[in-house]
Chain A
């Protein structure tokens, strides 16, 4: 583009005008995307009456009038928020953590090992991608309600039926993920196989090759899968609202239901909504570069 200096004056002016327009449109859209969240955070600091009376002016988006953390105190008094947050963090960490191990091992086996049945398994994994979770939610409830479970009761092992109301029912079904396996397999297949051969001549087993060679070279793949599984795990709603009745085991999104009946306490609703949104927003803003490239990677498969 060495010829930018001889662009005629009129053309340069046209470009500048176009840029001004771009900024105007972008800013307008940014306001459109941000206003509900700004409204949420601001309202969480106001008493109920003021939230309602502020809706007819700009004050709805400004922390004006009587500002306090009363709503947050109210939420803590009404529902066990701490417990809900703990449950969600536990479930999310385990789904993401176990998922990284299980899916990356499967991705390794499918992309770097030649074995009987590999093609069949690969087909099966790809086939799972077309099943939306919504279509199996109903039979799945029936299924987990009939799964055997072992319990310790009064020092002895008791056999029982039903996985309802537990942490495992929120975690285990979501550990294996066809799309994660697919992403790992794709990434692993870009690592030169000559590394495997060299390691094998040195006497390394396959698991060692996976752990010492392939995993350390695949940081971006692990980051991508972690990010893509983190969001749905944190945001789970349909499944836990069906299988978890016990208040002590509920995640934050289901905890939101405590506010559905009584919709006059809008201040507390906004405070609770803010509390379960802020952690995710902070994670997102801290890792936004990785988020963007993860989503881009998820679209590349075509």
Chain B
């Protein structure tokens, strides 16, 4: 180990406190100290910018620019490959979405319907699981791992699997059939406009709930045990302990879980692409799926960008509203 620290002329500026030689007058010493500080500070700035630069450039190039480009393209008739030049068309794309595109209307309804069910059910189910696996009983880690396995499994794989299970003669119907002793005949869940979205909701919750279970669990584990002991002393039962200790203590976890589930739910795409392609009769089209369908598959980048922009605004508003509703009351 010859040189543990590389000697670097720019950053080797002596630290101010040992910079001024002892025999100098206080004024010169202060000046020298200031100069050294200035040099160190400049070196620090240079190092800071240099080290942050790769990440900043990549974020600019592949996040900020596409966002701004999306804004700009939303007001044009851009196509991915086009003989005619891109033209500014004002609000045409937005007018088209809200007035003459029935699929947009359906996608809006479906996206909100999906989120309206998934957000509370998944959050609640996740909390229930977290409470179960937060008990001090033997083998509970194994259950945590099992509940998390679908999260690790790709949503593409999960969608294919459930697509097979949802067929008319699939596992789901066989199960229903044997549980109800044949009294209730199932349907081909994904081919029926009335059940397709519901079927996708079930598999989506099944896949992602383990993730939120772990988030809830980490929240639960920050609650001091003394609070529960005090509550028990006061004779609080299980439900009262939950209502008066657990629930209030989970405030910040609640905000996080709600926001992440909502944003994930609004972004529903893969399940649709793999399982139904938006059908039957637009009953499962979602905003993102529709935006990608027109923007990419039909190459109408301008219109697709406009739809993406609408989606972004909705996500933003909902996140802000949730933040506001769950803000610190004090």
Contacts and interface: CB of A to CB of B under 8 A. Distances in A.
Contacts of B52: 105-106, 109-110, 121
Contact of A207 (B49, B51, B132): B51
B317 to A, nearest CB: 11
B199 interface: no
A296 B218 contact: yes
Interface in B138-155: 140, 143-150, 152-155
Q: Secondary structure of the A side of the interface?
A: helix
B170 interface: yes
A33 B147 contact: yes
Given A33-B146, A34-B146, A181 B70 contact: no
B51 A130 contact: no
Given A110-B52, A139-B69, A205 B59 contact: no
Given A142-B301, A281-B149, A206 B5 contact: no
Given A56-B177, A103-B55, A176-B58, A139 B301 contact: yes
A138 B295 contact: yes
Interface in A42-60: 52, 55-57, 60
B269 A238 contact: yes
B152 A281 contact: yes
A102 interface: yes
Contact of A136 (B18, B58, B67): B67
Contacts of A208: 5-6, 8
Contact of B62 (A40, A102, A176, A284): A176
Interface stretch (B22-30, B102-110, B249-257): B249-257
Contacts, number: 303
A141 interface: yes
B78 interface: yes
A250 to B, nearest CB: 13
Residue from the set B62, B67, B80, B266 with the largest chain A CB neighbour count within 10 Å: B62
B55 A105 contact: yes
B321 interface: no
Q: Is chain B's binding surface mostly helix, strand, loop or mixed?
A: helix
Interface string A175-210: 110100100000000000000010111111111101
B315 A106 contact: no
A6 interface: no
B63 A128 contact: yes
Nearest to B213: A295
B60 to A, nearest CB: 8
Contacts of A86: none
B2 interface: no
Contacts of A138: 70, 291-292, 295-296, 301, 304-305, 307-308
A60 B165 CA distance: 11
A115 B149 contact: no
A224 to B, nearest CB: 13
A242 B80 CA distance: 12
B244 to A, nearest CB: 20
A295 to B, nearest CB: 4
Nearest to B161: A36
B169 A55 contact: yes
A143 interface: yes
Contact of A269 (B160, B215, B308): B160
A172 B60 CA distance: 12
B304 A205 contact: no
A145 B79 CA distance: 12
A19 B137 contact: yes
B73 A139 contact: yes
B70 A203 contact: no
A135 B69 CA distance: 11
A115 B66 contact: no
Q: Which of B52, B155, B169, B273 gathers most chain A CB within 10 Å?
A: B52
Interface string A9-46: 00000000001001101100110111011011000000
Interface string A88-112: 0000000000000011011011100
B11 interface: yes
A173 B62 contact: yes
B121 interface: no
A167 interface: no
Nearest to B264: A132
B250 to A, nearest CB: 11
Contacts of B257: 299
Interface in A121-147: 121, 124-125, 128, 130-132, 134-143, 145
B301 A141 contact: yes
A138 B56 CA distance: 22
A159 interface: no
Contacts of B117: none
B47 A131 contact: no
Q: Which 6 A-B pairs have the closest CB atoms?
A: A115-B48, A205-B8, A176-B58, A138-B295, A106-B55, A296-B218
Given A19-B137, A237-B154, A242-B296, 16 more contacts: A34-B146, A124-B56, A130-B316, A134-B292, A136-B70, A140-B62, A141-B301, A173-B62, A231-B152, A241-B273, A288-B148, A291-B148, A295-B214, A296-B218, A299-B219, A299-B256
19 contacts: A22-B137, A102-B58, A113-B48, A121-B56, A124-B59, A136-B63, A137-B292, A138-B307, A206-B43, A206-B48, A208-B5, A235-B155, A238-B269, A256-B156, A256-B157, A273-B161, A277-B154, A280-B154, A284-B152
